[in-house]
Structure formats: C-alpha cells, structure tokens
Amino acid sequence: MKIHVVATDASAYNASVLLLFAPHIAWSEQLSLHPLNEVLQGALAEVFSSDFAGKTGETALLYTRGTLPTTRILLVGLGQRQGLTADALRRAAAVAVQKARTMSLTHVAALLPDVGLSVSDTAEAIVEGALLGLYRYQGLKSTPDTITAIEQFDVLTKEAEAASDGVRIGQAIADGTNLARELANTPPNICTPDYLASQAEKMAKANDLTVSILKRKQIEALKMGALLAVAQGSANPPRFIILEHRPEGTENQAPIVLVGKGVTFDTGGYSLKTGEGMLGMKMDMSGGAAVIGAMHVISRLEWPIAVVGLIPAADNMVDERAYQPTDVITASNGKTIEIISTDAEGRLLLADALVYAKRYTPVAVIDIATLTGAVLTALGNVAAGVFSTDAALTHDLQQAGEATYERVWELPMHPEFQKLIESDSADLKNSSTAKMAGASVGAIFLKNFIDYPAWAHIDMAGKMTSEGDLPYAPKGASGYGVRLLAEFVRRRIKSE
Ligand code: BES
Ligand code: ZN
Ligand code: ZN
C-alpha cells in the first residue's frame, strides 16, 4: 500500500472512498465537517441526525451523488471527544480500512481530523492503525485467500509537512510490528534459530544496522552453557543475534540493551508439554521478534540514540542428547544451575544474554519474553508483567505502555522468592517445586544474572497472541512489545 500526504481540499479530491473521522459529539459541534456538508447539500447533517453519532467502532456509508469527485464517504466514529487518545484514532483507522477492503475499494483517502492531537501525531496514529489493521498472515495455502489489497492510501491535510513526519513514523512502527507478527506466525519448521537470524540480518541490512550472528562455536567460546543446554536436543543449532544501532554522535553513549527470548519451538523438553499446551509454542520467540521489530523502527527512523538488541535463539526439543531434569549446567557468568524443569528454558537462554549485555556498560537493559504461563494466570491477557530493579525504568515503561496501549503491570521480586530457587547441587535451580508466584520466580531467577543497576524484565506470555478484540490487532501473533519498546526509546531521546 502506497501512502501519500496530499495538501488538498477533500471536496476536490478523487478516490474510491473518503474517510471522515468524527468524535461522539452533536452535529452542531462537528465544526470541521460543516463546510463539506454544504458541498454535500446537507447529506452529512442528515446522517448525523439518524444513523451515526460518532461512537467507537461506528461507521456510516453515504454516496456523494455527483457533489464530490469521490463517490463514497465512510464516516468513522472516534468515541468520546474528551480525552481522545491516539489509540482511538488507531482503532478507527483500522475499522475504516477493513471496511474499505471488504468493499474492494483500492484507493482510500482520509481527511486528517482535528481532535486535539498534533498534526504529526494524528497522521502517525491513523497510518499506524490502518497498516496494523490490514495485516493478515497469508500462510502457505496453495490457494491463497482472495483479498483485494488497498493500493493507495492518501492523507488529506493542509499541513502536509507535519503530516508527512507522522506518516513516516506510523509506517515504520507498523512495519516493525507486522514484521514481528510475521516471524511469530511463521511455522516452526521454517522459523528455526537460523531462519530467525537470517530475517534479523535481512532487516538490519535494509536499515543500516550492524548485525552479528554468533554460531555454535562462538557461543561455546563464550561459555554460554545455559543457551547451549536448551539447544542441545535439537537438530537446529542455536544462534545468538546481535543488532547494534549506534548512529553518529552516539558512539560513546551508554546504550539501552533490549533482550528478547528466541525459543523457536518449545516442546517443554523432557518436562514435556501436553499436545494442547504445545500448540502456541511456535510463538515462543515473540520476545525476540519484538526486539527485531523495535530495532527496525529505531534504525529506520534514525533515532539519535544508542540501542543494542540481543536475541538468544534455540529450539527446546526432546532427543537422546537433550538436557534432562537434575542436570547441572554452567552459565556464562560461571553460575551453576540445576535443571528442575526443562520447560523453564526461556530463563536459561536469557541468563546468558543478560550476562552478555554487561559488556556494553548499558544505561538500561530490558528483556522481553514469553516466560511463564503464571503471568497469564495473574494478569490475564490485558497487560504484560514488568519486574524491575529501577523505579524510573518501571515508570517509563508504564508510560510507554499507556501511550501505545501495550500496557505493563508491575509485579514483585520479593527477596524471599530467591529461597524458592535454592538448590542442593548447584548455585540455583531453574524453577521452584512450590507452585506459587511463578512469574516472580522466573524474574528472580534472571536477577541472578544481572550486573548493572537498571534492568527490567517484561513477561509477555499473556500478550503473545491477540484474539482480534482490537480492530488493529487481528487474530494470531500480536506483535506485542515492538510499539512499547520503540515508544520507550523514543521518550528517552525526548527527555535527554
Ligand atoms: N514458553 C513457556 C511459557 C508460555 C506459556 C508462554 C504459555 C506462552 C503461553 C515457558 O517456557 C514455560 O514453559 N514456562 C513454564 C515455567 C515452569 C516450568 C516453571 C510454565 O509457565 O509452565
Ligand atoms: Zn518452556
Ligand atoms: Zn518457553
């Protein structure tokens, strides 16, 4: 879909459909639509008096009958005017383009509404919502579903320059999210650690990011015994993906390091999952995908800030060579770990990546992972859990979560939880035998591998998939985390 900003009057423009966004207020107050209503000989006022009130998710279609070059208008509701957020715009834009697509309309023009946000933010939200809402995983069907693609999306505004900025940002953010969705939706016989690495490499090359892919030999040289233990039962070798964004002027800046869990399939290993429990586990690399997506956004937009992305990638399989419960392994910081459950594998490969992060003397490290089913029990599928050693970092992630509607909710790392992972045969064990506070136990395990002041762990297991409840989040891999992490980084630039 080509996106253009056009500095024109909506009444002079020709497209298959013109989108008009309207908040839930009386017609008399919809001042920005009054001039167009004149041109349309009162048609808008008529719709408002009967079929349409601007409520969330509401749409109304009307025909212009020769009064405009464009033959159709689609009115789209934004909901309450008071406190209207970017998310209301994202949702409405997604609803609108989905409707246009079902009607096989290939050229959409959207009049940029004035709802109290800046022109750039408004354009960003509309483009982001539209592109996120149009995403579909096409899969490998021999006869692909027939859907008519929208070829052109025009943003109509008098302030073309500001709108263009917003379009560029919205497009990068949506592309990064859709990339993460695509990687997570890809079946695990295709999306192996090597494939994930090759896709990260492809993204990096397109964006002028520095990329290094460490293979088994190099991972062995780094003594990443925890990552190697997880990987040892699979025919697919592990990869350690390193993405570095250090634009000019930031060479000496302490970077933000983003770490994402890249388990390309989680059978549970010998602590085998049930058949049903395994079904979503091709998406167990969603944290890694979120980091790849966020690095896309940051580098595409050339943000002036140093950010490093690390993705330890492996399959967790059953095999004669696979690691087994009660094995004792050694992580790259020398700590020994007794394996209680081979299904608590995410924390193992993250441990080695968190140790690796120290070499950057990071200003902050954020890991994101589909780590525990327990976080889903605690928080449901509404927010991800966040655990942190730094209150300002937690606060910033919460703010970024509100702005993007990729929310995080703080959960505790009480020191008492460390007792639950004390081992008789090693420095610590990878899971507790007591069935309590599972998400916190995962976090406290990771804390043993941190050697820098500011660290946050995001457990996104509950946010891995979306059920299609939000118009811009179609069913399947959610792409959660890309927008959250990108927004977090963006705010760090602004606040410097
Ligand atoms: N990948 C799973 C967590 C998960 C579950 C993600 C459901 C998304 C949806 C993780 O590796 C896992 O299996 N965790 C165990 C930890 C336990 C053995 C301590 C779990 O949650 O049961
Ligand atoms: Zn597992
Ligand atoms: Zn897992």
- Confirm whether 184 is domain-assigned: no
Ligand 1: nearest atom to the Cα of 372 = 21
Residues 163 and 210 in one domain: no
Tell how far the Cα of 407 is from the centroid of ligand 2, in angstroms.
24
Residue 169, classed as helix, strand or coil, is: helix
- Active-site residue identified among 81, 216, 273, 491: 273
Q: Are residues 157 and 296 in the same domain?
A: no
The reply to whether 359 belongs to the active site is: no
Q: Is 180 inside a domain boundary?
A: no
The domain that contains 417 carries what CATH number? 3.40.630.10
The phi and psi torsions of 451 (rounded to 5 degrees) equal -140, 50
Residues 158 and 199 in one domain: no
* Residues 205 and 163 reside in one and the same domain: no
* Whether residue 354 sits in one domain with residue 236: yes
CA of 263 to the centre of ligand 3 (A): 6
Asked whether residue 112 is assigned to any structural domain, the reply reads yes
3-state secondary structure of 41: coil
The ligand that comes nearest to the alpha carbon of residue 184 is 1
Distance 183 CA to ligand 3 centre (A): 16
pLDDT of 496: 65
DSSP per-residue codes, 371-437: --HHHHHHHTTT-EEEEES-HHHHHHHHHHHHHHT--EEE----GGGGGGG--SSSSEESS-SS-S-
Amino acid at 284: D
Q: Which of 138, 172, 206 is the last residue of a domain?
A: 172
- For ligand 1, whether the C-beta of 277 sits within 6 Å is no
Pocket residue to mutate for ligand 1, from 273, 368, 372, 463, most atoms within 8 A of Cβ? 372
Q: Which of 115, 138, 172 is the last residue of a domain?
A: 172
140 and 215 fall within a common domain: no
| Contact call for residues 73 and 106 (beta carbons, < 8 A) | no
Task: Tell me, yes or no, if 273 is annotated catalytic.
Answer: yes
Domain shared by 427 and 359, yes or no: yes
Task: Check residue 494 and give its pLDDT.
Answer: 72
464 lines ligand 1 (CB under 6 A): yes
**Which of the listed residues 139, 172, 205 is the one where a domain comes to its end?**
172
Assess whether 261 and 155 both reside in one domain. no
* Ligand 1 within 6 A of CB of 329: no
Q: Which residues of the chain have pLDDT under 50?
A: none
Burial-class residue 433 by CB neighbours within 10 Å (0-12, 13-18, 19+). Answer: exposed
Residue 179 resides in a domain: no
Distance 357 CA to ligand 2 centre (A): 23
Same domain membership, residue 334 and residue 436: yes
Cα 354 to the center of its chain, rounded Å: 21
Evaluate whether residue 182 is within a structural domain: no
Range of the domain at 387: 191-495
Q: Are 109 and 231 within one domain?
A: no
Q: Are residues 51 and 150 part of one domain?
A: yes
| 177 domain residue, yes or no | no
CA distance 475 to 467: 5
Q: How far are the Cα atoms of 9, 34, 287, 371, 408 from residue 281, in angstroms, in the given order?
A: 50, 52, 12, 11, 22
Q: Please report whether residue 321 resides in a domain.
A: yes
Is residue 213 in a domain?
yes
Q: 371 C-alpha vs ligand 1 centroid, how far in Å?
A: 5
- Number of domains the chain is built from: 2
β-bridge partners, 476: 466
* Cα dihedral 9, 15, 21, 22 in deg (nearest 10): 70
For ligand 1, say whether the CB of 431 is within 6 Å of any of its atoms.
yes
Best residue among 230, 317, 371, 377 to mutate for probing ligand 1, ranked by most atoms within 8 Å of CB: 371
What CATH number corresponds to the domain at position 6? Answer: 3.40.220.10
- Regarding the beta carbon of 370 and ligand 1, being less than 6 Å apart is answered yes
* Whether residues 164 and 305 fall in one domain: no
